[in-house]
Structure 1
Amino acid sequence: MTTAVASPFRFFSLRVLRARRLGPSLVRVTFGGPELDAFRSLGRDQSLSLFLPQPGQSEPVVPLDLAWGSPRSSEAGNGGGWWQAWRELPDDVRAVMRSYTLRALRHDPGEIDIDFALHGVGPASRWASRAAAGDRALVLGPAIADNRAVRFRPPEDTGLVVLWGDETAVPAASAVLESLPAGTRARAWLEVPRAGDIQDIATEADAEIEWLVRHDGAPSAVGAVRAARLPLGERPYVWLAGESGHVRALRRYFVGERGVDRRRVTFVGYWRRGMTEEQFRAADQSS
């Protein structure tokens, strides 16, 4: 006798409902579609993969078994057959795939928000800057709320939550801060290109949030954190996400200089300076 186990991830075909600028460097795109009835997430820093059309295409081109209107693969992971089939499509034909974090999930009606950092040169930035109602996209996302793509997992005895993220991690950091219950002590540094990118974050936590604006000459990530002389106490939990070089430097600071138990530090490189996402993924897989 065998027991069927539901895959934690599946594909969702979606359409853009609306898009709005959050600042000069950030845009929020809201997606909807009937398939979101099966989308499940605890929120926080839930990551997902977004598939977008190439220029001149009306919809993202994916392998036949993922085509619009066909049944979705139940084995949605990089080890599944879809991954190799997608990779074998011509470079200028196959859908652009990029990793993002979920900013918000709403039911009745089903909607998800994804915030895009507009770097101006990448295909996802170009697509997001022009996104309009009706545009099609495909998302590889969670069908089970508690899944391995949620990385923010503070121990139960955490006395202080420490966060750092650049503009690519601001959506996740904002969702994390909004999820913290009243009485939670938190300190966050959020880095953005311009002052107009600063956002209001509603949180019940006892949180101190410092925005670092690069255009205004803000100190480096490690410099800002070190200058704060933050009293960590005995039970800190540290979450770091964004450009991989800054993430590694901050991890070395907290673990090496401040003595934080490495098991209480979650660090995620979302991108690497000077690399496309394809190059970053290849380097990450080979390391």
Structure 2
Amino acid sequence: MITINNEPKAYTPIFLGTTQHSIRLSLEILIMVGMKWHDEIIETYNVTVSAIALEQLPHIGNEIAITEIAGNELTGFKAKIRKSDKQLTNTTLIELEKLVDIKNVGLYQLLKGQSNMAQEINIPKFDANNLKYVRQILNESQESLAQKLKITRQTVNRFETGEQKISDRFINRLLAVYKDLAQSIEVQFDWVSLTFPDLTSKQVIRDVLNVQPDLFLERPTSQNFYTREMAFAGEKNIYIQDFAPIKNPETQAIEQKYGTTLYLTGKGTRLFEKALLEQNITWHDFFQKARQYRGHLTRLDIAINDKWGLLDMNDLVKAVQEK
């Protein structure tokens, strides 16, 4: 039993994943909750909950101790958590930290020249042009920058003209004074599509996604020449399209055509990261597993969180237009 906007409902709230885990150590998180009734998910809510009250992130598909939901789509829904009788250790924040690590598939730190995106990347050294650009971002003159770093203006000028090599000691001092510069550029997946020529949608759910099959709603479709769609909680966040089995009119035998496409939308990638956490694997591990089932990547969108304005949006738009 749960109360939704002061109206009692005979639903069982089911945890379906986190839809927002960008802010480390946040006291409030956004999760997706399904309302189960007679073993069927009737509707879903994206609700804000207290990470402290939650204590632990449930497994996907498990009941969650929400007693009340209030709000609307415009202002957002908020949920109250029933207090547990047990003395539980609050591990929600630790799990959110792990989700952030899974989500950030690439990091790049300009000042330190560090990257974990790929070993093959040729990372440039922080040079005179970088220093000029950083100084412009900080809105500092050579004189004011020198004063704050407690060095001479002539030293800053020699760095910027290339007359003197920029040392690690100087970069460390810059980071100590301007702490925001330590922020990295973060890369995360925003859309993933995979095709499997030898599997059905139910096999993808069981063997590739490894998510409870009863959380997917089966319905007909005519999109992309497929005839069946399996949608996570009935929504197009995580869904698989394939061919529904048909009966041969002559032999009366059930015939199954193979081939399927898996879609993880922007919200779907965030939801699926909880499943990755539960399976103790990363995105890289997931793609390797997909390849074992002859999975072929057909679309991979990335989102870049540019923490301090390194990327010029006009340049990016122009590059896309020019292909």
TM over 0.5, shorter chain = no
Indicate the structure with greater helix content.
2
Say which one has the larger Rg: 2
Question: RCO (CA 8 Å, sep 6+): is it higher in 1 or 2?
Answer: 1
- What TM-score comes out, normalization by structure 1 length? 0.25
- What TM-score comes out, normalization by structure 2 length? 0.23
